[in-house]
Amino acid sequence: MASHFTLTPIKANTKGAVKQLRREGFVPVSVQHKGMPTAHYQLESKALDEFIRRHGSSSYIDLMTVPDNVHQRAIVSSIQRDPISQKLVQVTFQQVRSDDRVKTHVSLRFLGDPEEAKHGGYIVQHALDTLEIECAADSLPDHIDVDISNLQPGHPLRVSDLPEHPHYRILAPADTTLASLSSTHVAAEPISTEEEAATEAPA
């Protein structure tokens, strides 16, 4: 089920006013759709940030604009954060209609425990936690399951290893690494020629 947010017309029209808007707990947001002018609003920052951190950009949002009370379905298109505080600075939504094709990043859910990792000699390393996909608006998945139970040392799992899905197309290159095994044993550093000579020299 999509989460619901109410958008109000943005009241700030200068940089100073936008900064004050953020201090009051709001963030500027934009709504876009191909062939339509971009609309600008404001939204409570805390609730939106919690939604994004929990769902990322792959979940639908039900937006209602006031005062006209128009509902529209959307996904998060882009997110700007303050590099220091990581607070939301600007968020752009992409309006989604039933006949649209959607491009977005979907979370990966890794399943299974590789045999080599169970014995403690290796640990699983996840190279990515999302993948960009394209799909019909009504076929957007919440996540993509990735089975790593058969992962072997020296043989990373790549996009090309994932089974094709009838409802979406993965846009990442086929050789993109998703997960691999890394040894927990640290190899001893080789002894240099100088160190070896000093060891063999008579006292």
Q: 103-183 falls under which CATH superfamily?
A: Ribosomal protein L25, C-terminal domain (2.170.120.20)
Query: What pLDDT score was predicted for residue 173?
Result: 95
DSSP 21: H
Query: What pLDDT score was predicted for residue 142?
Result: 85
Query: What pLDDT score was predicted for residue 3?
Result: 82
Q: What is the mean pLDDT of each run of 10 residues along the chain (203 residues)?
A: 82 88 93 90 93 82 89 90 93 91 90 88 92 91 92 94 94 95 70 53 52
3-state DSSP call for residue 25? coil
For the segment(s) 3-97, the CATH number from 2.40.240.10, 3.40.50.300, 3.40.50.2300, 2.40.50.140 is 2.40.240.10
Unique residue bearing structure tokens 């050789």:
175
Find, among 182, 80, 183, the residue nearest to 127 by Cα. Answer: 182
Query: What pLDDT score was predicted for residue 1?
Result: 46
Domain boundaries, the chain: 3-97, 103-183
Contacts of 40 (CB under 8 A, 6+ apart): 9, 10, 28, 29, 30
Query: What pLDDT score was predicted for residue 74?
Result: 92
Find, among 18, 80, 95, 24, the residue nearest to 49 by Cα. Answer: 80
Query: What pLDDT score was predicted for residue 169?
Result: 95
State which amino acid sits at residue 85. Answer: S
Query: What pLDDT score was predicted for residue 53?
Result: 86
